[in-house]
Every structure is written in structure tokens, then in C-alpha cells.
Structure 1
């Protein structure tokens, strides 16, 4: 019997039904951190026999070459990204302008991407067919592919999505209980004025998106592509599933429907990174400890003002640690002896090194996740978009501190660095939170793959989706209005009856007095 075990096992594997799907993934936002986040998912799709066509601003390297992979390079939209992000650093005090700027930036990028010949051909050439679409939700214009191919669609995001996307997919929304990262709320006991501002801002941004920004997207599509397309808002609501990086440490804790998958918890941090011999020697020889300093891929250290750069240099000069600074130029003026600059850094490998004492970060979500999972405390210096909200969560979670670059001083920076290094509570909390988010029944990648193939097997997940309802129904405003009207009517009738009874009683008393007289 044992002699037949292996052949039977091999035969069962061969007979097991396998299905390689044709997947089109559109990750349109020109930001390296957005692009690299999803690469483990692409690799796993390819490893499981699926065909992947990827529209990306950052194509994967030759190391990831695969016969089933086709990449459409739209990196040309990076040509003005540096000047763009240099400008947006001045908008942080105006949240509405910041939100508007983000959408305008993405709109300009997607317009050019849709005009790229290979992308345009996908939309216009009827010979192209796909079984599944994956669309980066922060670029809703790209839901035109949903109309073109009319196949199941997964919305994805490398951070938490806006409230309207949660609403479309059926997740609960509430500006105070589930706040956005743009205007964070520390707790529900914040002052009534702040809560009023947050609710008002949420309402205005929603309506601005629904009536103005959607109209801009629709107009752009009609100008760029021949034919008639439904409104982007309608297409966006047709997404079947949502994969979002809603990390419970850096995002609000929100209940999800079965069509939503949280990618938080090491989704992009499992791949081994090569570290150069020179860098490894620097880290190994720094027995006193190393502070890693990086402002991510969108905030460039080379673009910092001379005043702010000198604040960092003066503070670093006074510290008893080595500093590894991701700096985009070949040289750094007035560079202290304890500072090493590097144009590009294998960040995950560096953060995992035993001699790393702290991480100075702009507060980008992927950077904070990598720091957290490495057990490294952080000093956050947010610049724009979701970074301020992430920084507030860093404080709330007890894994680091926040500084404001507009008012930063040498003494303040030095004190913050020493605080997170010398006070063990920050490192301990980072390790504790890492254990929390890593303790789950399956990895985020396994979860995403299972849901992807579930959607491919069944074609739709309407039976799992909760229909969205207007906000006035969600918050019972119509029921409360009816109740209030009924109550007012009841009070009016009661008042009228009592008034009539009192009037009749007075009339009877007057009549009685006249009879007595």
C-alpha cells in the first residue's frame, strides 16, 4: 500500500483544478512608497500561476522578471514631483488646501497616464481581456477600467482609505469615532469646538469630493478618452472588495465587513534585503549605537531649508551616537564626523540591526510600520497629508514622540532623541504593539491571496456586501425628524386641550358667579 502513496499523491495534485487568472493592476500614484508596498502581492500572484499586467510608476527590477508579468511604465509623471512636494510642504496649516492639492496632483498624473500609448491601448483595443481588476483607490479616475472590462474589482490602498470608500464597501463611518488621518481626533472627549470643526470639515470634504472633484475627474476622462463613461463616483461604488493598510496602531480601530481585508502587520516587511559591506561595517562598528534618519521618498532631505538642516546637524554633533542619514546628494555641507550620509538605504535591514537606537521619520505609514515591527522607537517630524495623523498615533501608542519642523530647535530635537533612546518604555511599547498586530490567524499576504481567489472563483461578492444608505438614514435623522414632529404635534394637541379645558372651566365659573348674583 505504501508503494502507491507517493504516485497517488502526485496524481491528486495533478488532477486538482488550477486556474490562472488574467489580472490587471493599476497603481497610478507617483510615489515609491505606494508602489513598493504591493510588490509582495504581485510576486505571490505570479508564483500561483496568474498572469499580471501592471501599470506602475516604479517597475519592478529584473530580479522579479517572470514570463507572466507585463509592466507598463508610466514613470514619466515623476518629472515634476519634486517641485510639487516642495510646494505642498507650505500647505499644512490649511487642511482643505492640502486635500485639494492631493487630488489635483493625482488628477494631473492620471491624465498623462491614460494618454500613455500602452495604457490607452488597453482601454481602446477590444482584444484585451482580463478576469480581475486591482485599482489604487486614491486615483479613482482609473475606475474607467472597471467600465471597460466589467470584471470583478478590488480597490487597494497602501494606507487607510477616505470615509466614502469605506461607505461604498459597507464599512461603518463616523467622523469622530473613525476619524481620518488628515484631521486626527485624540479622543471623543476633545472640546466641543474641535469636534464641531472635525464634523464640519468631514461634511465639506465629502460634498467637495462628490460634487466638485468627481466632476473634474469626469471632465478629464471625457477629454482624454473617446466614448461615453459613467461617472467615476458610480464606477467607484462598483468595487467588490477593499484591501487597505488600516494598521490598528496608526489608524483608527474600525470594524470591517467580510469584503474588506486589512493588509497591516508585516505585509511589505518580510522580504530579505541586501545590505552593502560598507554599510554593514558602519553599523557593526557603532557599538555606541546608531540613529537612523530618513524623511522617506516624497520628502527630500536635500530640499530642507538651510536653517532646518543646520538644526539637525548641530543636534547630531552633540549626541554620543552615530547618525545614518538618507540624504539625496553626494555631499552634505558642514557634515559632523559622527554623521554618515547615504543616497538610498535598505531601510528594513537597517532598522533590524541590533545597534539601531532610534528612528527619526517624517511619519510615513510604511516607515512607521517597519520601525514598529523592528522594535525601534521613533521621533516623528510630520510634513503633510497623513503624516500628522500618524504622528498623533505614535504618541497615543507610546512608541515615540512628535516634533514640529516649523518651530524645531536644536535643544528640542536633542531632548526628543535622548528621551526615546534612554526611556525604555518606548522600545518596550513598540515590541508589544508589534506582537499584537502580528498575532493573527493568517498573514496579511495569505489573507489577501485567499480573498482574491475567492472573488475569482465566485465572480462577485454581492452576498457579502452591505448596501450603503444616505447619511440622514444612517444617523436616523429622518426618524428623529418624524419623532420630533409627532412629539411637537402631541404637545400642541395637549396644550390646546388643556387650554380649552381651562377656558371652559373659567367660563363655567363666570356663569356660576352671575347666577349667584
Structure 2
């Protein structure tokens, strides 16, 4: 007969079969990712700045500068758990952003003496929350999606770069000559902040909150595999047919060319205005990142060949600790015997600007299903809804899910 292997399976080989086991495995994976990420930060900075101190490298507290100048809250929410955890572990953290902890409840709940803010917040400009008007999307007409997206990214890039570069506290920090062991910088729509990387002359790690931009892949010396990896901006499926591959290749070439010319000219001009002349080429500085952390996961984005210094950290922003839900939401969920549909278009999209014809369709569909529906709706004027729909201006998404 057939031979049978009676050796007991290791615990690590156990499959996650039930829904509860899958949730547990996901939380374990997220925790492991967080631990590995923090260890990498410590190892990198310690190795780069070894000295003759009697304190062992593993015990050394690092001075870290985090530069996250984008106005989008959804972006910063990806970095925040990492930054808070670094401060909890005693590392001296200076964070340049539009989201200072002093304006959050978390500051009073958990004051962190090693977490220091340099706020870029402009009261007149505000932050990118509920700023996308769904009606305005139609004004672009037949303009290709990639052109529209690049145009919006270009405008945002100029705004955020100017705000950061001219900030008096940022300039004071640069002029102070303060040294840092490590810099954390977002990889998104601008290389403007490479000027600060150059000024502080420290190893740096870039973090992307989403799939890598075509130009970021190029910076890493990788090949944009247009034949099987759909690029950002394309919305193409996997696998792609020949025509879709051709569109993908053209999109990659076009977007990278625009970033290398138009975006780069803007970044370099603004950086030179405040910290030049004589700054090196910002794109060249960006090529020297020690690591790139990417908020993706192969289970969702497909298998991609990355070198060892590009690490997928998808889910790092999800805390394993669940906060108690507000009473009205908890009651609503407890009574959802048929299940719940959570509907949210994100922090930037203002759902209340949805065209009436599409809104009417959604309301009709929600009323026709047996499940309860939780819906992010930003204004006081609420359309007539069925009893199975709960709307709120802001929702604790992680805790609900």
C-alpha cells in the first residue's frame, strides 16, 4: 500500500481554515511584520552609525526624523502606528507632518515624551479630508485617466513641497546642524524632500502607502514589468491581453517621463529656492534609499519580484487592539442578524457630492437588501433612507471591520 507520513506536523504548518483562525493568523502576520520592520530600522541605523560607546547597539536609542509632508490623512494613518511604536520604545522621534499629535485625543491618553512634532498644518488650507467632489470628476471629460491623475498629483506636489520647504521650524531644524541616525520619507508624488535628506546626510528609508509608482520602481533600479504587472493609473486586470499590455507599457513610459521632467523641474526649483543653489539632483538622491517599505501584499496585488531592500508591509497600519465602538454603532451591529454592509469611499472623497442619479440607485439598492448598511455621509442634509441604513460623518473603520 501507500506509505503514510505519521510524523506530527509542526505548529507553523497548521492551516487557517475557519474564519476565526484566518483572523487570528492575519493579526499574527501583522504583528510579525511590525516587529520585523522595527528591527530593520534599528539594525540599519545602528550599523550605519557605529561608535565606541559602551552602550550595546541593541540598546541604543536612535534619533529619527520622519518627513511626511503630504496633506492626505489616509496616507499619514499608514505611518502613524509605526511612529508611535518607535516613540514607545524610547527612540527620539521628530515628525514633520500636517497631523501633529497635540491635536489628537491620543496625546492626552498616551503622552509620548520622545515624540516631537514640527507641524506643517495651515489653518486656511487644511488637510485633504472630504475634498474630492464626485461631480467634478466628470468635468475632465474624455481626458485619459493617467493625464488627469498626473495633473492632480502635480498640483498637490507643488503645494506640499512649498509648504514644507518654507516652514520656519523646518528651516530652523536644518540650520541647527542637528544630527539624525535615520530618516523616514514618504515615496509618493515628489522628490522635493530629498533636499532635507541631503542636508541631514543620514541613511533614509522610503515608505509607500500604496502600490509603487512607476517612477519609484525606476528609482530602485527595477524593471517595470509591463507584460504582467498593471501599473498605477491603469485600472487594468490581471492577466492582461495584448492590447492591455500595450496600454500598460505606454502608461508606464509616459508617467515616468512626466515625473522625470515636469515634476522634477518643479521639485528642484522649489528646493533650490529655499535650500539652494547647489543642491544635487533630487532624483539622484532618491536613488540612494537604503530600504523601501511598501503597503502592499502579494495576496492582493499579485506576486512581484522585489530585491531584498524592498519589503511589503501590507497591514502595518492595522492595530490588533480594537477600541470599543460608540454605543449607537454597537447597538446597530448587534442587531444586524443578517450581516452588515460597510460603505465608505475613503477619507478624501465627499460622498455627499455624488450625482443624484447614482445616489438614488445606491439608496434603492440599500433598501432592497436584508443586511444593515453603515454609510459615511459628511453633511447634515441626509437623503430619505430605509431603516436598515445608518449614516455618520466619520466612522471608526478599523474597529467596525
| TM range, smaller chain | 0.7 to 0.9
The residue matched to 1:79 in structure 2 has which SS?
A: coil
Residue 74 to residue 189, structure 1, CA distance change in 2 (3 Å) = closer
Correspondence 1:113 to 2:164: yes
> Which residue does the alignment assign to 1:23?
64
Structure 1 contact 57–73 (Cα < 8 Å) conserved:
yes
Residue 171 to residue 265, structure 1, CA distance change in 2 (3 Å) = farther
Residue 73 to residue 300, structure 1, CA distance change in 2 (3 Å) = same
Structure number with greater Rg is: 1
What displacement does 1:290 show?
A: 2.0
> Which residue does the alignment assign to 2:324?
274
Higher deviation after alignment, 263-272 or 48-57: 263-272
> Which residue does the alignment assign to 1:66?
112
Structure 2 contact 66–93 (Cα < 8 Å) conserved:
yes
> Which residue does the alignment assign to 1:322?
372
Query: Of the candidates 144, 152, 167, which is equivalent to residue 101 of structure 1?
Result: 152
- The equivalences for 1:61-460 within 5 A come to 61=104, 62=107, 63-76=109-122, 78-79=125-126, 81=128, 85-86=132-133, 89-90=137-138, 91=140, 93-123=144-174, 125-138=175-188, 139-187=190-238, 190-191=241-242, 193-351=243-401
Residue 27 to residue 228, structure 1, CA distance change in 2 (3 Å) = same
> Which residue does the alignment assign to 2:92?
51
Q: What is the TM-score normalised by the length of structure 2?
A: 0.77
- How far apart in 1 are the matches of 2:238 and 2:271? 41
Structure 1 contact 38–268 (Cα < 8 Å) conserved:
no
What displacement does 1:172 show?
A: 4.0
> Which residue does the alignment assign to 2:81?
40
What displacement does 1:51 show?
A: 0.6
What displacement does 1:179 show?
A: 2.6
- How far apart in 2 are the matches of 1:194 and 1:232? 33
Residue 38 to residue 323, structure 1, CA distance change in 2 (3 Å) = same
The residue matched to 2:217 in structure 1 has which SS?
A: helix
Residue 317 to residue 83, structure 1, CA distance change in 2 (3 Å) = closer
- How far apart in 2 are the matches of 1:288 and 1:244? 36
What displacement does 1:332 show?
A: 0.6
Structure 1 contact 30–78 (Cα < 8 Å) conserved:
no
- How far apart in 2 are the matches of 1:24 and 1:80? 21
Give ranges in structure 2 of 5+ residues lacking alignment.
1-53
- How far apart in 1 are the matches of 2:137 and 2:171? 33
Structure 1 segments of 4 or more deviating over 6 A? none
- How far apart in 2 are the matches of 1:16 and 1:150? 24
Structure 1 contact 130–149 (Cα < 8 Å) conserved:
yes
The residue matched to 1:53 in structure 2 has which SS?
A: strand
- How far apart in 2 are the matches of 1:148 and 1:326? 43
Residue 82 to residue 51, structure 1, CA distance change in 2 (3 Å) = closer
The residue matched to 1:308 in structure 2 has which SS?
A: helix
What displacement does 1:80 show?
A: 7.5
- How far apart in 2 are the matches of 1:16 and 1:146? 27
The number of equivalent residue pairs is: 336
- How far apart in 2 are the matches of 1:102 and 1:15? 45
Structure 2 contact 162–270 (Cα < 8 Å) conserved:
yes
- How far apart in 1 are the matches of 2:88 and 2:158? 33
What displacement does 1:331 show?
A: 4.0
Structure 1 contact 170–257 (Cα < 8 Å) conserved:
no
> Which residue does the alignment assign to 1:502?
none
Structure 1 contact 24–132 (Cα < 8 Å) conserved:
yes
Residue 50 to residue 162, structure 1, CA distance change in 2 (3 Å) = same
Structure 1 contact 172–255 (Cα < 8 Å) conserved:
no
- How far apart in 2 are the matches of 1:343 and 1:151? 42
Structure 1 contact 302–327 (Cα < 8 Å) conserved:
yes
- How far apart in 2 are the matches of 1:35 and 1:121? 23
The CA RMSD measured in Å over matched residues stands at 2.4
What displacement does 1:81 show?
A: 4.2
The residue matched to 2:176 in structure 1 has which SS?
A: coil
Give ranges in structure 1 of 5+ residues lacking alignment.
1-13, 352-517
Structure 1 contact 23–134 (Cα < 8 Å) conserved:
yes
Q: What is the TM-score normalised by the length of structure 1?
A: 0.60
Q: Deviations over 1:278-314 (max 9, x none)?
A: 2111111222322111111011112222332222222
Structure 2 contact 343–375 (Cα < 8 Å) conserved:
yes
